[in-house]
Amino acid sequence: MALISYLTRIEFGEGEIARLAEFVSALGGTKPLLCTDPGLVGTGIVTRVAGSLSDVAIYDATPANPTEAAVMDALAIYRREGCDCVIGLGGGSSLDLAKAVRLLTGHEAPLGQYAAINGGVARIHGRIAPMIAVPTTSGTGSEVGRAAVIITEDGRKVGILSPHNLPSIALCDPELTYGLPPGLTAATGMDAISHCLETFMAPAFNPPAEAIALHGLDRGIGAIERAMQDGGDAEARRDMMISALEGAMAFQKGLGAVHALTHPLGAIRELALHHGTLNAVLMPEVLRFNRPAIGAKWDLLHERLGGPPDQRIAELNARLGMPSGLSAMGVTGAMMERVADAALLDHCHATNPRQATREEYLAILQAAA
């Protein structure tokens, strides 16, 4: 027996951001906390979005990999300003931080007790503030994801998973991604593509998720280079946002070894590595590792990508200017040893189609170096 559920309210289209105040009101909100990051403030988007709301508080210090300390700082503003709903505006970091703030509007800290690996799913209930997720990149799909990935006070990067974490409304306006720099377009786009690949390979029975993942893969592969080359290509930007959205909609099937490794890699504070870039670099090696376990899915991906999936992704990485390997990103052998240990404890480890040992995770990391 399989439980198949999709998902939350999605408002998609160019110019939809103009309706943000309408959506806040529809959720019964009067004063939202807007969670975003310093880079987005510099683009002017935060001023534009905040200006469309009659009353709003702002937290604009989301770090590249959101931490529990940052969540608590944002929560303090929420409480001090008398907010009654949450808006996440930005990439996956800002959206995940907003989800964690929202969780703590109805739950006691610390966040670690709600991590999936700590049995936290059953501790999460729906008596929390409403939330609107507004992505400004096309990558994580956090706007329709049930997870918030946070570095907790003990230094671990963990997934806090629950259907209650799904934003009340995902407001997806491709216009917010126009002009995104080429490097960020590539990194976030490969994040979306890796989600489509991993969810398709995951072994759970969920045919709708597989169909959605393949559609998202087609859109992403077909658009990422055009979006990178021309920040104003409206069709490419729309397709990349669809790819990100669909990759995350298919999360219901689970992810896999790529994410089991990139979560602890992203928790290495002295490196502050970009999640999508890590996914891109590791994806070819994980595809090779998974090949014996995925059977006909390998052949389908071969047909879809026009060649061996691992080679095609490696070639795409090179064309997009992704790093040549983990070593080029500053990852050392000692770090790989620690990451291999941590990957076994990640919630994505269990949903990879081929269960990896510590030694196999280490071999993947070394091959991707």
* pLDDT tens digits along 242-273: 999 999 999 889 999 999 999 999 999 899 89
Q: How confident is the model at residue 4 (pLDDT cuts 50, 70, 90)?
A: low
CATH 3.40.50.1970, the chain: domain bounds: 9-176
Q: Which two tokens stand for residue 328?
A: 């080029």
- pTM exceeds 0.95: no
> What's the pLDDT score for residue 139?
93
Counting residues of the chain whose pLDDT is more than 70, the rounded percentage is: 98
CATH 1.20.1090.10, the chain: domain bounds: 180-367
Radius of gyration for the chain, computed over Cα atoms and rounded to the nearest angstrom: 19
> What's the pLDDT score for residue 2?
53
With vertex at residue 343, the alpha carbon angle to CA 159 and CA 271, rounded to the nearest 5 degrees, is 80
* pLDDT tens digits along 80-108: 999 999 999 999 999 999 999 999 999 99
- Residue 335 has φ and ψ, to the nearest 5°, of -65, -40
> What's the pLDDT score for residue 5?
56
> What's the pLDDT score for residue 1?
47
pLDDT higher than threshold 60 for residue 36: yes
pLDDT higher than threshold 80 for residue 125: yes
Which CATH architecture group holds 180-367? Up-down Bundle (1.20)
CB 57 within 8 A of CB 65: no
- The 3-class secondary structure across the chain, one letter per residue, is CCCCCCCCEEEECCCHHHHHHHHHHHCCCCCEEEECCHHHHHHCHHHHHHHCCCCCEEECCCCCCCEHHHHHHHHHHHHHCCCCEEEEEECHHHHHHHHHHHHHCCCCCCHHHHCHHHCCHHHCCCCCCCEEEEECCCCCCHHHCCEEEEECCCCCEEEEECHHHCCCEEEECHHHHCCCCHHHHHHHHHHHHHHHHHHHHCCCCCHHHHHHHHHHHHHHHHHHHHHHHCCCCHHHHHHHHHHHHHHHHHHHHCCCHHHHHHHHHHCCCCCCCCHHHHHHHHHHHHHHHHHHHHCHHHHHHHHHHCCCHHHHHHHHHHHHCCCCCCHHHCCCHHHHHHHHHHHCCCCCHHHCCCCCCHHHHHHHHHHCC
The residues, ordered by sequence, that sit 6+ positions from 79 with a Cβ below 8 Å of its Cβ are none
Q: How confident is the model at residue 157 (pLDDT cuts 50, 70, 90)?
A: confident
- Residue where the block lists tokens 């087609």: 218
CB 257 within 8 A of CB 343: yes
> What whole-number distance in Å separates Cα of residue 18 and Cα of residue 53?
10
* pLDDT tens digits along 52-79: 999 999 999 999 889 999 999 999 999 9
Q: How confident is the model at residue 361 (pLDDT cuts 50, 70, 90)?
A: very high
> What whole-number distance in Å separates Cα of residue 50 and Cα of residue 59?
11
Q: Which residues of 181-213 are buried (b: 16+ CB within 10 A; e: fewer)?
A: eeebbbbbbbbbbbbbbbbbbbbeebeebbebb
User: What CATH number has the domain spanning 9-176?
Assistant: 3.40.50.1970
* pLDDT tens digits along 270-325: 998 999 999 999 999 999 999 999 999 999 999 999 999 999 999 999 999 999 99
Higher pLDDT, 299 or 154: 299
> What whole-number distance in Å separates Cα of residue 168 and Cα of residue 171?
10
> What's the pLDDT score for residue 3?
54
> What whole-number distance in Å separates Cα of residue 225 and Cα of residue 214?
18
> What whole-number distance in Å separates Cα of residue 248 and Cα of residue 227?
20
Q: Which two tokens stand for residue 345?
A: 């404890």
110 preceded by cis ω (within 30°)? yes
**Mean pLDDT over all residues of the chain?**
95
CA-wise closest residue to 346 among 247, 245, 267: 267
